[in-house]
Structures are given as structure tokens and as C-alpha cells.
Structure 1
Amino acid sequence: MITAGTLHKRPLFTGDTRLSLLEDTLLGVFREHGWQPQAWAVFPNHYHCVALAPAGDGGLPLRDAVRCVHSLSARELNRLDSAPGRRVWFQYWDTRLTYEKSYYARINYTQNNPVKHGLVACAEQYAHCSAA
């Protein structure tokens, strides 16, 4: 599971265009490099993603995939906002899920995060998560 936050938790990915930018970049980079997203939710100041690692020795290491997501999304966001060179991302945290119970708990947490934040009544109503 990966959780990443913007610098100073600033809500930089506001509005549907910017949220879609982050979601599309996250899913596109991960899939392109062999990762299989199982659950995700993106918000103006952070995101969560549970993904299966590439099989065998294939694919990009997680740190490189996250670095690519952050680089591409920051450059495009800064272009949209006319803010070249602005630092967007602070850091990310990852947890390797080794137990089935932990895996399902993190899937549930990720998919229900829009409800936890009070954005929607049920996760299926939030367009920028895997539950939609």
C-alpha cells in the first residue's frame, strides 16, 4: 500500500481536471511498469493505492514507479497552474502487505477513504477511486 501527500498538505489537485490528471498518471505509470492497482483513491492533497507487484524480476521497482508518478504529475500540474519548478510532493509511505487479512483491510480503507473524509455518503459516488 502506498500513501503520498503533497507538500504541507496543500490541496493542489483541486477540481475534476487535476484529480483526473493524478488518477490517470498513477494508474498509467503503474500499469505500464507491471504493477496491478487493486484499489486507489486520489484527493486534492494525497492519494492511497494498493497494488500487486510485478511478477518475477519484471517491472519497475516501487520507489521508481512512485518517483515517475510524482515527477509527471507535478510537471503537468505546474504547467496547468503556471508555476514552473514548484515542489508538489512531500513524501510517500509504503507498506508491504503480507497477510490476507491486512490486504483486505487496506483495500477497504482505501476504497472507503472518500467517505471517511466526508466527501460522499458511499464510496461509489466518488469518481476518483476504484470503488466508483
Structure 2
Amino acid sequence: MHYRRAIVPGGTFFFTLVTDRRRPILASAEAVDVLRNAFRSVRQSRPFEIDAIVVMPDHLHCIWTLPPDDGDFSTRWRLIKSVFTKHCPDECRRTPDAARLKKGEQAVWQHRYWEHQIRDEADFARHVDYIHYNPVKHGLARSPAAWPYSSFGRYVKAGVYAPDWGCDLMCLEGVGRE
């Protein structure tokens, strides 16, 4: 099957990447640091802006803006996934499927990813909100501010969000305030 991807130089895109079998390989600070380094490494040779990001235990969401003369996000993702896989902690590479191990597959990431071209400012804002609220939605934090692997703090500093934006009801009632 041939997948069509939007090739838009200078475009802004929302992405979702999922780990193989939704294993929580991004749950440790060490794994997130390896992922950060993979992003840094690829951005040195193939620049792009990370407008918003959240890293969850088994997936990540982000928005990128590509350079004006470049629409190739596929190569960037291939490189990021490859660098992460090469350097990730050993537990990332473990797979319950012995047949895949015999073939030499590392089974770290799902083969495909989701992308959506951001159409306008309202679309951008909706996707940024979705990204930052994701840890609350999944029950991993009571507020976006409580999740350490997100660009939420950058948005608070810029005045886009109040620090208590997205608090769940318990957080707003003062129960277990983080």
C-alpha cells in the first residue's frame, strides 16, 4: 500500500508516533533524554522548529515547522527513530515476539506515524491544547504543569497559558495540588 504524505516546504505539521505494541519505553527519564538527544542530533543536520511537544510513556505528539525550502519530515522522523533505537536503554529493545528477534528487528517504534498539516491559527491552537492536555487525559498528571516531558512550561512563560490551565477537578479543588 502506498501512503501519500503532504510535502509542503515550510509547512507546520502535527505528528503522533507510537512505540511498538504501545510498550512504555519512554517512561524513564533516561529514555526521554535519549529521545531529546536524537532530536538534537537530527536538528543539527536537518533543522526544524519544535513548536509544541509531549512525550508520554508509549507515544509522543508534537508540532513541527519545517524550513521554508524543505518539506521532508519523513527523513527527519526516520533519522530520529533510528538514532533513538541505536542509543536507547536495553529495555527499549526487548520484545515478547521471538520470531521478530530472529529476524533482527528491534521492535521499538510502530512502523508508521500520523501526520496532519496544520491549516490555520485555530487548528494550531487546538493541536497545541491537545498536546499539552494529553497527560491529564491519560490520567498521568492532574495538570499539564505537573507533567515533566512537555513544552507546556514554555507556553506558560510566553503568556499563552495560565499555570493552572488544564487542571482536572481534583486539582482545581485543591486536592493533591502539585
Shared fold per TM-score greater than 0.5: yes
Residue type of the alignment partner of 1:11: P
Determine the C-alpha separation between the residues in 1 that align with 2:120 and 2:16. 19
Determine the C-alpha separation between the residues in 2 that align with 1:54 and 1:124. 30
Check whether the contact 2:42–2:79 (CA below 8 A) recurs between aligned residues.
no
Quote how far apart the aligned CAs of 1:65 are.
0.5
Query: Could you tell me the percent identity over the aligned residues?
Result: 24
**TM-score, normalising length from structure 2?**
0.65
Determine the C-alpha separation between the residues in 1 that align with 2:76 and 2:140. 28
Structure scoring higher RCO (CA < 8 A, sep ≥ 6) equals: 1
Answering whether residue 33 of structure 2 is matched by residue 20 of structure 1, we say yes
Answering whether residue 93 of structure 2 is matched by residue 72 of structure 1, we say no
Aligned equivalent of 1:48: 61
Q: Secondary structure at the match of 2:119?
A: coil
Determine the C-alpha separation between the residues in 1 that align with 2:78 and 2:57. 18
What are the ranges of 5 or more consecutive residues in structure 1 without an aligned counterpart? none
Quote how far apart the aligned CAs of 1:23 are.
3.5
Determine the C-alpha separation between the residues in 1 that align with 2:42 and 2:131. 17
Answering whether residue 30 of structure 2 is matched by residue 10 of structure 1, we say no
Q: Deviations over 1:62-121 (max 9, x none)?
A: 0000001100111111xx217485221112111111122111100110111111111111
Q: 1:86 to 1:30 in 2, by over 3 A?
A: closer
Q: What is the count of residue pairs matched by the alignment?
A: 127
Check whether the contact 1:19–1:44 (CA below 8 A) recurs between aligned residues.
no
Q: 1:52 to 1:62 in 2, by over 3 A?
A: same
Higher strand share: 1
Aligned equivalent of 1:129: 150
Quote how far apart the aligned CAs of 1:14 are.
2.4
Check whether the contact 1:35–1:53 (CA below 8 A) recurs between aligned residues.
yes
What are the ranges of 5 or more consecutive residues in structure 2 without an aligned counterpart? 1-13, 94-103, 154-178
Quote how far apart the aligned CAs of 1:25 are.
2.3
Determine the C-alpha separation between the residues in 2 that align with 1:30 and 1:113. 25
Aligned equivalent of 1:118: 139
Determine the C-alpha separation between the residues in 1 that align with 2:21 and 2:73. 23
Q: Secondary structure at the match of 1:89?
A: coil
- Pair member with larger Rg: 2
Q: Secondary structure at the match of 1:95?
A: strand
